[in-house]
Amino acid sequence: MHSPRLNRFRPLLVGTKIPENIGSFARLLENFEIVEAGLVQPNCEWREGVAQWMATGTSRERLNSVPVYDSLRSAVADCQFVVGFTARSGRNRRTSIRLEDISEKLDGRVALVFGREDFCLLAEEVELCTHLCALDTSPLFPALNLSHSVAVVLSDLYRQESDSRRGHLTYAPVEELNPVMEHLRAMMLKVGLDRDGNPERMLGRLTKIFQRAGLTREDLGLLRGLFARVMAEIDALRKSP
């Protein structure tokens, strides 16, 4: 049996404005044996005052040593999957995974991203997420307190990991998909999608598909080989009489 310790998950608070939530976050890290976590551009004073009071016992030490990142991109760069939790809806905020499926379907290092108390995650932060997840709450009052949301997620994942039987595939970090998508963009332009369609919009949708799929380094190499072969064949056809 796998250890219930959530050593492959990295909870991240983005732009937190209420120090009590950061203090409670530190306590939750201890409650659920979290190895890695971080704050992304915190927007309040949490090194003293009420945050310190909320983080009791050993969690206070954790609070004072939690890493601080200057951007979400840097905080998730080495993760295979990035799950953003949101209560907001919209065309670009459609959920793609349920909380109860995260442990089974996402095998690798997973960032768990929680946004601001008032505005959740910004559009550019949502774009960095490979998956979006909404917690089940009453539609009459759907928004949970930030620290309560973290507690619900970590508690459920703690249970999932206790009983999981995951495979042994090693997925590529999300940053390694970027050059593959640039290669795909070049191929799309070579076949004329800049004249007959909207390549950037299509590329954005394809990126989301690849992100959700969870690709290994071997998968990325296969795709790049395919793109290179297609481009070579196009060049050959154009040179032929």
- Cα–Cα distance for residue pair 82/68, rounded to 1 Å: 18
Structural domain of 83: 9-163
Mean pLDDT of the chain: 88
In a domain, 3, yes or no: no
Residue 59: enclosing H or E segment and its boundaries? Answer: helix 58-65
Q: Above 60 in pLDDT, residue 2?
A: no
Confidence of residue 165 (pLDDT cuts 50, 70, 90): very low
> What percentage of residues in the chain have a pLDDT greater than 90?
54
CATH classification of the domain holding 159:
3.40.1280.10
CA distances from 175 to 134, 182, 208, 236 (A): 24, 12, 13, 32
Of 62-71, 111-120, 144-153, 173-182, least confident by mean pLDDT is 173-182
What pLDDT digit, counting tens, does each position of 72-107 carry?
Answer: 999 999 999 999 998 766 566 788 899 999 998 898
Q: Above 50 in pLDDT, residue 215?
A: yes
If one compares 240 and 95, the residue with the highest pLDDT of the two is: 95
Answer yes or no: do 35 and 153 share one domain.
yes
In a domain, 1, yes or no: no
Confidence of residue 69 (pLDDT cuts 50, 70, 90): very high
Q: How many domains does the chain have?
A: 2
Tell me what pLDDT residue 170 has. Answer: 75
Q: Above 90 in pLDDT, residue 124?
A: yes
Answer yes or no: do 190 and 73 share one domain.
no
Q: Above 50 in pLDDT, residue 139?
A: yes
The stretch 202-215 carries a mean pLDDT of 86
Answer yes or no: do 63 and 28 share one domain.
yes
Last residue of a domain, one of 163, 188, 211: 163
- Cα–Cα distance for residue pair 123/75, rounded to 1 Å: 17
CA 239 to chain centre: 44
Tell me what pLDDT residue 222 has. Answer: 93
Q: Above 60 in pLDDT, residue 61?
A: yes
What pLDDT digit, counting tens, does each position of 140-163 carry?
Answer: 888 899 999 999 999 999 988 875
